[in-house]
Copies of this chain bind each other. A is one copy, B any other.
Amino acid sequence: MAGEYPTHLENIIRSLARLPGIGRRTAERLASALLDWERQELAELGTAIVELPDKIHPCKECGNLSDEDLCRICRDPRRDTTLLCVVEQARQIPVIEKCGHYHGLYHVLGGRLSPLEGIEASDLNIGSLYERLGKLTVTEVILSTSPDVEGEATAAYLAEELHGHFDLQVSRIAQGIPVGADLNYADAATMAMAINSRRRVP
């Protein structure tokens, strides 16, 4: 493989190929496309990548990705401060924001309980969650950890702790058949969840 591209281009190809879902061939195609970009466009993208760790950091309040001390959700006075949604990673917040059905606050745990990886409750941003719940006017905490073993364990742990320390409602995001999915291909665990969490049709 070596020697087909000038070293500088080869370096870009190898870097791009480290991105998820980008194989060697795609990286070559992307690097080739960059050759057609204007100098100014390349400078913008390249500089933005170099400066990424300095520009983006966790929001001091909730842990969301932010380019200021407080993220735009914590800065937004129109958010519903009675609702707080707990997520594992900051990158999950845009997924929830996009659905357009949640207008409350967030709290980023920075991971989930994982005995295998040695991640305990003290490794997660749980202390700051309690601090926030103590000073905010939250009446419901929505646990939005992943619907897998570790995410469920984390949600179960938090639910118990929250009920023990605060007088508020704790809820979990619904699990079931994805909207638009083909029932023929639903896995057994999801199907079971869909049956057990069935809603009465009024």
Q: A residues bordering B, Cβ < 8 Å? A: 1, 3-9, 11-12, 15-16, 18-22, 26, 28-30, 32-35, 37, 39, 41-53, 55-56, 65-68, 71-72, 91, 93-94, 97-98
Given A19-B33, A30-B22, A55-B8, A3 and B45 contact (CB-CB distance below 8 Å): no
Chain B hits for A33, CB < 8 A: 19-20
Given A4-B97, A33-B20, A56-B35, A46 and B44 contact (CB-CB distance below 8 Å): no
Chain B hits for A71, CB < 8 A: 6
Contact yes or no, B6 A66, CB < 8 A: yes
Alpha-carbon gap, A13 to B21, bound state (A): 16
Q: How many copies does the complex hold?
A: 2
Contact yes or no, B5 A45, CB < 8 A: no
Q: List 9 A-B contacts (CB under 8 A).
A: A4-B93, A5-B65, A9-B67, A12-B45, A15-B45, A18-B37, A19-B30, A19-B33, A19-B34
Alpha-carbon gap, A120 to B174, bound state (A): 63
Contact yes or no, B46 A8, CB < 8 A: no
From B19, B21, B28, B52, give the contact of A8 (CB < 8 A).
B52
Chain B hits for A46, CB < 8 A: 45-52
- The distance from the CB of A26 to the nearest CB of chain B, in whole angstroms, is 7
Contact yes or no, B11 A35, CB < 8 A: no
Chain B residue with the shortest CB-CB distance to A29: B20
Contact yes or no, A21 B29, CB < 8 A: yes
From B8, B20, B52, B53, give the contact of A51 (CB < 8 A).
B8
Chain B hits for A4, CB < 8 A: 93-94, 97-98
Contact yes or no, B72 A53, CB < 8 A: no
Alpha-carbon gap, A67 to B98, bound state (A): 44
Contact yes or no, B44 A11, CB < 8 A: yes
Chain B residue with the shortest CB-CB distance to A89: B32
